[in-house]
Structure 1
Amino acid sequence: MTALPLAGTAVAGLDLAHAPLPASDVVAGAPTTAVAVLDDTGDREIGIWEMTPGTARDTEADELFVVLSGRATIAFEDPALASLEVGPGSVVRLAEGMRTAWTVTETLRKVYIT
């Protein structure tokens, strides 16, 4: 996890340190993820999250995010909902406990609020 300074930061080009996902979460490929926390001083956390191509399952936190770059399909396994294609400018709201599968086709970078 990368900590950022209080001053403004150009997040599009921010260098993030990636780590592999747990093997139990990976469905296809060898995706890695990275996180940079922008602010965690209150009841919410705001940060940058990135995932490289591949497919991985996740149990979601209560989150709102905006895709900055990349492309992915989010499959909603529980509750069963229609899959969602996301790309730059997509705004998505996830509820805590949702089970999802993320298929990233182009490294996805998002700013999130949890």
Structure 2
Amino acid sequence: MTLAPGEEVDATTRALAHEPVPADQVVSGRPSTGWVELDDSIGVWEMTPGAMRDVEADEVFVVLAGSATVEFEEPALPPIELRAGSVARLAEGMRTVWTVRETLRKVYIAG
């Protein structure tokens, strides 16, 4: 999908096809993720409860729903707590652990 100028999408209700998180990334539970790109650098991403490791892209995101903790393995930074309304920035190459307590949905803008 490409979001055209003047077009609107409801990111809170947009249907997302989920896939299980690959076993080598799972820390606990049975999380799945789903996403849809709205443009080359804009998208909606969602993760169900559980914990997973990830290597980040350069992005800014706004949490629409859910709650989670993001721990930073590299670089070593304090964890952040995410909830609806949280705005955060990640840098390319950061190594993180996402622990989702309530299905987390975000809109991201990648750099």
TM-score range, shorter chain: over 0.9
Name segments (4+ residues, structure 1) moved above 6 Å: none
Percent identity, please: 58
The counterpart of 2:105, out of the listed 99, 104, 109, is 109
Distance 1:38 1:89 in 2: 20
Whether 1:60 aligns to 2:56 is: yes
The answer for unaligned runs of 5 or more in structure 2 is none
Structure 1 spans left out of the alignment, 5+ residues: none
Distance 1:15 1:68 in 2: 14
SS at match of 2:12: helix
Match of 2:71 in 1: 75
CA distance in 2, matches of 1:5, 1:88: 23
- Distance in 1 (CA, whole Å) between partners of 2:98 and 2:10 is 26
Alignment match, 2:27: 27
Q: Counterpart amino acid of 2:84? A: P
Partner of 1:24, secondary structure, is: helix
C-alpha distance after superposition, 1:14-57 (max 9, x if no partner): 111100111000000000001111111xxxx1000000000000
Q: How many residues align?
A: 108
If the length of structure 2 is used for normalisation, what is the TM-score? 0.93
Q: Residue 13 of structure 1 aligns to a residue in which SS?
A: coil
